[in-house]
């Protein structure tokens, strides 16, 4: 895992106004206040999202995303709860089967993609609620 690379990717997001942090010990990235498509369904307008840092990153594609345990968005997003519950900053997150590079047509290119581009996958994922 390249800690310097993750720091640079998250710095790019922060320059654009995105609140994101890397939790090295837990091997997680946390995006805060990610916009959702919840308004039309009377659901939350934003959510925090946690994303595991895969072993071997950046050679290994980023995969999965987690929403706060108990969030009404969990059953409204694509993918099912899958994997452990992880805790960041005192909040528990349920990982969900969200695989943009395996199931959504994305192609992982570690020379161009990273946590700065995965944020857009997460935004898209949360905009299409059912």
Q: Would residue 40 count as lying in a domain? A: yes
30: closest CA among 91, 81, 99, 101? 91
Q: Would residue 96 count as lying in a domain? A: yes
Query: In the prediction, which pLDDT does 102 show?
Result: 67
Q: Would residue 18 count as lying in a domain? A: yes
Query: In the prediction, which pLDDT does 1 show?
Result: 58
Tell me how far apart the alpha carbons of residues 112 and 114 are, in angstroms, rounded to a whole number: 7
What is the residue-level pLDDT of the chain in tens, covering all 130 positions? 589 999 999 999 999 999 999 999 999 999 999 999 999 999 999 999 999 999 999 999 998 999 999 999 999 998 889 888 999 999 999 999 887 776 566 678 899 999 999 999 999 999 999 8
Dihedrals phi, psi of 80, to nearest 5 degrees:
-115, 150
Q: Which domain holds residue 29?
A: 3-123
Q: Would residue 130 count as lying in a domain? A: no
H or E element in which residue 81 lies? strand 81-88
For the chain, what is the domain count?
A: 1
Query: In the prediction, which pLDDT does 107 show?
Result: 77
Residues near 36 by Cβ (< 8 Å), separated by ≥ 6?
43, 44, 45, 46, 47, 73, 126, 127, 129
Q: Would residue 114 count as lying in a domain? A: yes
27 and 21 Cβ atoms separated by less than 8 Å: no
Q: Would residue 107 count as lying in a domain? A: yes
Q: Would residue 54 count as lying in a domain? A: yes
How far lies 128's CA from each of 1, 3, 75, in Å? 31, 31, 12
Give the global pTM.
Answer: 0.93
Q: Would residue 128 count as lying in a domain? A: no
């Amino acid at each position: 895992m390249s800690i310097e690379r993750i720091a640079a990717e998250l710095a790019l997001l922060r320059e654009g106004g995105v609140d994101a942090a890397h939790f090295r010990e837990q091997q997680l990235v946390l995006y805060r206040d990610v916009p959702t498509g919840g308004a039309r369904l009377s659901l939350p307008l934003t959510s925090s999202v946690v994303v595991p840092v895969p072993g071997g990153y950046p050679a290994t594609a980023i995969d999965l995303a987690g929403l706060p345990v108990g969030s009404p968005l969990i059953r409204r997003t694509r993918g099912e709860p899958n994997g452990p519950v992880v805790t960041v900053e005192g909040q528990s997150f349920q990982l969900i089967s969200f695989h943009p590079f395996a199931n959504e047509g994305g192609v992982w290119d570690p020379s161009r993609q990273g946590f700065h581009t995965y944020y857009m996958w997460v935004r898209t994922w949360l905009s299409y609620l059912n």
